[in-house]
A and B are shown apart, each in its own frame.
Chain A
Amino acid sequence: MRQQYARRMQVLASAMMLIALAIIVQLTRIQNSPEAAVFRKQAENYAYEWKTFYPNRGEIYDRNGRLLAGQKTVYEIGVDLKTVTDPHAIAFAVSRELGLNYDNLMNVIQNPPEGISYLVLADYVEAQQALNLQELKRALQEQAAEGALGGLTGLQFKAHPQRSYPENALASNILGFVNREGKGYFGIEENYDNLLAGNPVSVLIPTDPNKAYEIPRVPDGTTMILTINRDLQAAAEEILDNALTQYGAQDGVIAIMNPQNGEILAIAVSRRMDLNNFWNYDSIYDNATEFNPAISKTYEPGSVLKILTMAAALDTNTVTPNTTYLDTGSILIGGVTIQNWDRNPWGVQNMIGCLQHSLNVCMVNLATQMGANNFYAYMDAFGLGHLTGIDLAGEATGRLKMPGDADWYPVDLGTNSFGQGVAVTPIQMMAAASAVANDGRMVTPHVLYAMVRDGRQYNVPAQFAGSPISSQTANTLTEMLALSLEAESSLALVPGYRVAGKTGTAEIPVNGFYDISQTNASFIGWGPVDDPQFMIYVWLERPTASPWGSETAAPVFSEMAQKTVILLDIPPDFIRQQIASQ
């Protein structure tokens, strides 16, 4: 009996061992079968996934650390279609909070596109609105019977950053904007888009939640500190707006630069846009040049260009400040008679009188005496017809016709000498005139003061664009311009400060002919003369109160300069002289 029992047990144990062995053999066979390799490869494909981490876009500050462009959290609001319990409640709550159409919401929730489980109802929703919906969802969940789901179950919120401009439209023409895809347009946002956006990092993440992985540290985009002075920018925009109203101008620009190092302190333009509502771009601007005409819009500058002609004449020793000539009111060049702005003769004039009365005949004389080669070599050295290299997107080159060009005629030497027939941008004129204000050295205008990355600040050094004239010529011409302003008691004068500058009134060509009733009024000036710390360019387009730059742009320059010296803490000349004498 006992032996029989033992035998049965042995048979049973053997059978079980055989079964176990068969299972092990089968397991091993399956593990090593060709199909297993295929399955293993498929599993590997799903074991990891590439995930891209996007850095926060760098911030933009003014020179005093005021935030001009930052980030704010907005929400994507969607529904998880599998968990929705009450589409009516969701449609009602979302339509009420976000002002969306209830019927449309109901339609998309009840008839979603095939094959999706998550539906976006709205994106870029303000944090407060999302918070209201989240609170409503929580309240409905609390009110629901125990174990039941709230009416807004399935409504989901995903936070993400969005570019925000706390100053709204202030300096919009300098900053540019970022669209919802994160791409920068215009100004700093476009010019430094790559640096601001930073570098996204892609890493392989295990899909198994129990496998530890390290989230890579994604450095934020580079933070930019601009040379712009926020308060000066605001003042410039206010003064420009008032000037447009006061003088009935169509458009305008006020640009302020430090002529010693090319730092742009402010650029005010008449058409500005709230950058937080960048989608209004099309309704504000007719074309891209209107976004920042100070760098993008070319025009005939008129008499402000006489500064450059006089600089060339002095530098080539064609004339000295005391050189005289007889102004007969007209001069013939290239078969065309050129007249003064008032079409009158001014008799014997020296070079200061030439600038003071802004005499076209004088300028044509100078250009003729210098010769075309000399004149155009200087204009080229001053950067006319070239990009200044300012670090803002969309700069225009302008146009300077040269002898040898198909459309250049001998009369152009005459007209170019007093600013007709040549197209420049305001920033080009400032860069060129900086040579006169800065001991003959021409600066490269720039807006970037410094970059901050990984806690380190890199200051951008000033760059110079050559020395088209000598230091002596620059100082002589500055003195001549200051004297000419003082002699005519110009409206551009600034009480307590000695300034140098020049008006410009350029008739606008309409259908190939200059229209006397439509002008570009401008003024370029800098000060204090003994230590120039600001250069201001004023351009008023088609002023109706008066066509003359001396009556429109000049007083705007004075007002702007008075505000500038306050905001930049520049004491009057006699105080500075006291300090210097100590």
Chain B
Amino acid sequence: MNIPNINFIHAYRIAPWRVQRQWIGNALLAVVVLALVAGLYLNVTSRTAIAGREIQDLMNAIAISQQASSDLQTQLASLTSVSAMEQRALQLGFRPVQPEELQYLIVPGYVAPEPINFSSNALPQLSALTIPPEYNQSLLDWLDERIASRRIQ
């Protein structure tokens, strides 16, 4: 009873169409794996590119804001310049004080104002070398680097 079964299984295993199917299956698996790797690669590189663009946009926005800040600061300085303030004061009915009109009072604890101090917390220093290669290196770049390092070794 067992011999015919064994023959059938053996015949099934060596059937040409089955071997073909195995080949096709393996080929399809390889294609699927490649497609997955390619998709992953595409996804990572596109995200990297988008992040890069966003950084550029933000840097540009910072530069534009700084420029606008400088503009406004200069405008404010123009509006409060000596000549502008003097003109405004005269229009409001003020006039320069005469020495004999001044009265000095002794105020206990009064401290004369010191010149301006612009000290503030230092900004973090960034440099072009702070981004590690993992964040801006493509898969091909990485492979290239590996091969090159192997060659050197």
Closest to B108 in A: A582
C-alpha spacing A212/B52, complex, angstroms: 4
Which of B55, B80, B82, B119 makes the CB contact (< 8 A) with A170? Answer: B82
Inter-chain contact B74/A70, CB cutoff 8 Å: yes
> In the complex where A66-B77, A166-B77, A215-B59 touch, is A455 in contact with B123 (Cβ < 8 A)?
yes
Inter-chain contact B106/A575, CB cutoff 8 Å: yes
Q: Number of A interface residues, CB 8 Å?
A: 55
Chain B residues 85-130 with CB under 8 Å of chain A are 86, 97, 99-100, 102, 104, 106, 112-113, 115-123, 125-128, 130
C-alpha spacing A478/B55, complex, angstroms: 66
C-alpha spacing A566/B104, complex, angstroms: 11
C-alpha spacing A53/B125, complex, angstroms: 16
Inter-chain contact A217/B126, CB cutoff 8 Å: yes
Inter-chain contact B106/A579, CB cutoff 8 Å: yes
Inter-chain contact A215/B118, CB cutoff 8 Å: no
A495, CB-defined interface residue at 8 Å? yes
Contacts of A63 in B (CB 8 A): 115-116
C-alpha spacing A170/B66, complex, angstroms: 26
CB distance from B15 to the nearest CB of A (A): 16
Q: Number of B interface residues, CB 8 Å?
A: 50
Inter-chain contact A70/B77, CB cutoff 8 Å: yes
Inter-chain contact A452/B51, CB cutoff 8 Å: no
Contacts of B71 in A (CB 8 A): 71-73, 127
Closest to A226 in B: B115
Contacts of B43 in A (CB 8 A): none
A216, CB-defined interface residue at 8 Å? yes
Inter-chain contact A454/B56, CB cutoff 8 Å: no
Inter-chain contact B81/A167, CB cutoff 8 Å: yes
> In the complex where A164-B74, A170-B82, A230-B82 touch, is A457 in contact with B118 (Cβ < 8 A)?
yes
Shortest Cβ-Cβ A-B pairs, 9 listed: A212-B52, A65-B116, A166-B77, A67-B77, A210-B49, A63-B115, A71-B70, A234-B82, A166-B78
8 pairs, A vs B, C-beta closer than 8 Å: A56-B70, A73-B67, A73-B71, A164-B74, A212-B52, A213-B136, A217-B126, A575-B106
B: which residues have CB within 8 A of A? 45, 48-49, 51-53, 55-56, 59, 66-68, 70-71, 73-78, 80-83, 86, 97, 99-100, 102, 104, 106, 112-113, 115-123, 125-128, 130-131, 135-136
